Amino acid sequence: MKTAKKLGLAVAVATTMGMSSAMAGEVNIGFTGPLSGGAALYGENTLSGLRMAADEINEAGGFDINGEKYTVNVVALDDQYSPSQAATNAKRLKQEDDVPAVFVPHSGGIFALMDFNVEDDFLVMAYTSVPSVTEQGNPLTLRIPPTFDGYVDAFTDYALENWGTKLGMGGATHEYAKIWGQMIKKAWTEKGGEVVAENAMDYNKSADFFTGVSRIISEKPDVIFVGGASEPTGLVIQQARQLGYQGGFIMMDQAKIDEAANVTGGLNDLDRTVGVVPLAAEQTEAAQNFVKRYQEKFDKTPGSEAAYNYLALHALVEAMDIAESTDPTEIRENLSEAVTSMDGNKNPYSVQEIDEKGGFVVQPTMAVVKDGEIVEEEF
């Protein structure tokens, strides 16, 4: 038995050595996001897309740089949605793990990293739809989802036409939600609507929104603007219904209708909610293929944060392969070619290109919950 154990150990060591000799090395890719607190589910969903892409790349034998094979290793750090902690994490990821890129799923952290990413020489892979991220001209920042200014106009037009003119503001307090709130308020009033209540709430620290919601409802709005991570957004909507609110909701794009429905126990509470089309409702072959594979791997339905970050990591690695380099500037120069040349199954949102400012070009979508069903509307 001892001989057999020794033989088994020798085989294992030989196999490991053989694998090591076949791979030139490992490229670390950074992630900083909320992995604890009220937005933990959002952070984990984002990270799951990165891990799925990394697993696929590694299981396929890695990728090639100048004839040598490399694997991908995602190094994830928790920042609890704090911009200052995100900056600290990024410094650590660069210094300790020599990452060429850091994925960040919140605008506060993204702006914090953009203060020093060019000097420190790493790409900011920004999962945010805030337009100003790519308007600042940072040459090493990529914005992954489409900007939300189109959503603001489309959602506002639909709500004004179908539900009424009085708006209550009940979004979250983090930077991204503040920017969304400012834009929706401006669009609403410019289109002839009236803002009758404003009571932003901390979606990251609370699960009891009854007091804040009741203040908004007391002003009798026809529509309430809500949005943060999906889980607390679902709670805000559920508690508004429990307090007797019968009007509509504008849900900012960070929150997902299907994920909020998991909190509310179905779509009934979300009736008369306008938001983005959930990934699972997308009818393209690439989207449905991704949903199926994700469900098999994680035993749950993916949201857009998983899919967008999945495709972004595949594009990043494809760009390294094309550039024959892990240099951030060379990766950036080859990303647009990478996203259009990679296998369609790696691109569930059918990103068409990356524009000169660093934005992934995607066709935005709009959905409305009607009578317990998610219905896609013309954008």
Q: What is the mean pLDDT of the chain?
A: 91
Q: Kind and range of the H or E element at 294?
A: helix 285-298
Classify 28 as helix, strand or coil: strand
User: What value does the mean pLDDT take over residues 123-133?
Assistant: 94
Residue 102 reports pLDDT greater than 60: yes
Give dist(CA 201, CA 190) in Å, integer.
25
What is the tens place of the pLDDT at every residue in 53-83? 999 999 999 999 999 999 999 999 999 999 9
Model pLDDT for residues 341-364, shown as the tens digit of each residue:
999 999 999 998 999 999 999 888
Mean pLDDT of all residues in 218-247: 96
Query: Is residue 164's pLDDT more than 70?
Result: yes
Residues 200 and 287: their CA atoms lie apart, in Å, by 34
Average pLDDT over residues 294-309: 95
The mean per-residue pLDDT over the stretch 36-64 comes to: 95
CA distances from 302 to 46, 48, 214 (A): 10, 9, 32
Express as a percent the part of the chain with pLDDT over 70: 94
Residue pair 340/352 in contact by the 8 Å Cβ criterion: yes
Kindly provide the b/e burial profile for residues 317-350, where b requires at least 16 CB atoms within 10 angstroms of the residue's own CB: bbbbbbbebbebeebbebbbbbbeebeeebbbbe
pLDDT at 16 over 50: no
Of 282, 231, 275, 238, which is closest to residue 257 (Cα–Cα)? 275
Please indicate whether residue 229 or residue 267 has the higher confidence score (pLDDT): 267
Q: Does pLDDT of 15 surpass 80?
A: no
pTM of the complete model: 0.81
Does residue 140 sit in helix, strand or coil?
A: coil
Ramachandran angles phi, psi of 78, nearest 5°: -85, 130
